[in-house]
Chain A
Amino acid sequence: MLHHTVLRVIAKLLVPVILLFALYVQFHGEYSPGGGFQAGVIFASGIILYALVFGLDDTMRALPPGVLKILSASGVLLYAGVGLDTLLLGGNYLDYDWLADSPTHGQHLGIFLVELGVGITVASTMLLLYYAFTGREQGQ
């Protein structure tokens, strides 16, 4: 891909914007269309664009599959952990009212954390799927 100058320059310009937009969709999910799933997919697509232009090896060095596996698990753990926290605070499972002093704050915080968990898991799972389809795993 070394001689595709236009492609490389455009991709370099676009990738940070895509990632930023993903974060916008993530953190604005409560107010506007969006949320964890969409943000995760957009984030992953930014990195997949990078992998398409600059090669899989570089991408895998920046985001190794082992780290992504742990990230995909930690997103689920964050989601379920918020539920567990509400249980320990005295509410029902995933009843966000108990997370903060006022129910409104609690709902904000709860949805924010849960969607963050969804976003992390979706982004890392998407990348793992992409790695699985494009790369040839050693030893198979």
Chain B
Amino acid sequence: MLGTLSNDLPALQVVVPLMSAPLCLVLARWPRLVWILCVAASWTSLAISMELLDQVLSYGPISYAMGGWAAPWGIEYRVDSVNAYVILIVTGIASVVLPFAGASVAGEIREDKVAMFYTLLMLCLTGLLGMTITGDAFNVFVFLEISSLSMYGLISMGRDRRALTSAFQYLVMGTIGGTFILVGIGFLYVITGTLNMADIAQRLPEATQLRTLHTAFAFLVVGIGLKLAMFPLHLWLPNAYAYAPSTATALIAATATKVAVYALLRFVFTVIGPVTAYEDLPFGEIAMALATLGLLTGSFVAIFQENVKRILAYSSVAQIGYILLGIGLATALGLQAGILHLFNHALMKGALFMAVGCFFYRVGSVRLDDLRGIGRKMPWTFAAFVIAGLSLIGVPLTVGFISKWYLLQATLQQGYWPLALLILGGSLLAVVYIWRVVEAAWFGSPSVRANDAKEAPLGLLIPTWTLVLANLYFGIHTELTVGVADLAARTLLEAIR
């Protein structure tokens, strides 16, 4: 029976987390069991995504007809090297974050809300995976809403009362973003009369309503830009990351923006086509300009934050800048660097936010003042933070170095040496804000709260260190990440010809 199921992996990829979400509610009385179920579901998802990537790399793209309805009429799930790679990122992070959740959630969430929290976590995962795997433009919107709605809920469960206002702020911004995306998809439907991505792409060259097409493109870019926190549209992000529960921050920061970037890539390259985006419309110039602005302001503002989670959140805005810069270049190397950084940034931000989650577990605060001297009390957590921080800066032997290296090459290949200097400048700013945390945590005299803290429990340390070691492993063994990113970039660019 399992043999026949191997053809249904694209559906199971979404169905496994989807079914575990309501099961969490049913089992609400046994929080421990709920946790075990979610860990099992996330590990199953990871296994499925590895098998999918393997199938795609050996046999080419997979198409799956939902409900047996063939592609342009029914909903098609389509897996190629681009989204198989993004799915691997999402499930990989989820299967490390969920074991971490066990102790972290017990410490941060009221006991009667724990099952609800896991339900939302699994729904969020469902939405993100669905957005990535589907080949249907409208389906992207549906899954986007599933992931967004569950994210608003997750953020609002933070212990700080400000979590509620930041969740509401994100809800307003996120809904505007979602509506813009829907309007964009609606315009595409008006032009082509179909919702299947491949079908839209096939019919667009014959389109005569160019103004509608350009409007659709503008709506899509602004809508997705809100979701991925493109520079002037990033204002929801710092508060949302700062006040959400540690587990939710780690999952959302490492995956949600990555999936939004994937959606942008899919719409720009596969659906609308780079000719319209880069030649008829100035998408490349706009993306690069906003990317550089975001890179500089994000890093700069991060330096002046007093809350460690906010430092990391602003640094995320800057890192999105690196990814967008690669996409804006629109060369094979630039795209490869951007896609590579999706993976690498997920690894480093996941590790950093989990280390901060460990601090929060013991200290109950993530303000720099309260974390003074914590490094000597929690050496293992501190070491994890430092290594992940070095990776964020881009020190050789870490993943951060690999993506910065490819991005530098991509800018220099085009002769944009001022951009290359900016990338290096961004790294220097990262040194400053990571150093501020290190200085307070290691050299500061212990604060009242830090004085009674002891090392985080193994249940938190093991997942955190898994990601930290992944930062080092993929910084040395780059065949998988660089290879697949290269393949993905070429797949996206081939769509034109």
Q: Which of B4-12, B156-164, B205-213 forms contacts with chain A?
A: B4-12
Knowing A87-B5, A92-B67, the reply to whether A73 touches B25 (Cβ < 8 A) is yes
How many Å from the CB of B153 to the closest CB on chain A?
13
Which A residues are CB-close (under 8 A) to B4?
90
Are A73 and B11 closer than 8 Å at their CB atoms? Answer: no
**Is B19 positioned at the interface, with any CB of A under 8 Å from its CB?**
yes
Q: Looking across the interface, which residue of chain B has its beta carbon closest to that of A87?
A: B8
**Is B64 positioned at the interface, with any CB of A under 8 Å from its CB?**
yes
Which B residues are CB-close (under 8 A) to A88?
1, 5
Knowing A92-B64, A92-B67, A92-B68, the reply to whether A84 touches B25 (Cβ < 8 A) is no
Binary CB contact string for chain A from 59 to 101 against chain B (1 if under 8 A, 0 otherwise) = 0000000000110111011001101100110111111110000
> How many residues of A are in contact with the other chain, CB < 8 A?
21
Are B22 and A73 closer than 8 Å at their CB atoms? Answer: yes
Which B residues are CB-close (under 8 A) to A70?
25-26
Which B residues are CB-close (under 8 A) to A97?
68
Which B residues are CB-close (under 8 A) to A90?
4
Which A residues are CB-close (under 8 A) to B22?
72-74, 76-77, 80
* Interface SS, B side: helix
Knowing A83-B11, A87-B8, A92-B8, the reply to whether A77 touches B19 (Cβ < 8 A) is yes
How many Å from the CB of A87 to the closest CB on chain B?
5
Q: How far is the CA of A72 from the CA of B64 in the complex (A)?
A: 29
Which A residues are CB-close (under 8 A) to B424?
none
**Is B462 positioned at the interface, with any CB of A under 8 Å from its CB?**
no
**Is B378 positioned at the interface, with any CB of A under 8 Å from its CB?**
no
Knowing A69-B28, A72-B25, A87-B8, the reply to whether A95 touches B19 (Cβ < 8 A) is no
For this complex, 19 residue pairs linking A to B, each with C-beta atoms less than 8 Å apart, are A69-B28, A70-B25, A72-B25, A73-B25, A74-B22, A76-B19, A76-B22, A77-B26, A81-B19, A87-B11, A87-B12, A88-B1, A92-B11, A92-B64, A92-B65, A93-B8, A94-B67, A94-B68, A96-B67
Q: Which residues of B contact A (CB under 8 A)?
A: 1, 4-5, 8, 11-12, 15, 18-19, 21-23, 25-26, 28, 64-68
Q: Which residues of A contact B (CB under 8 A)?
A: 69-70, 72-74, 76-77, 80-81, 83-84, 87-88, 90-97
Please provide the 9 A-B residue pairs with the shortest distance between their CB atoms, ordered closest to farther.
Answer: A95-B68, A73-B22, A93-B11, A73-B25, A94-B67, A76-B22, A92-B68, A80-B19, A77-B22
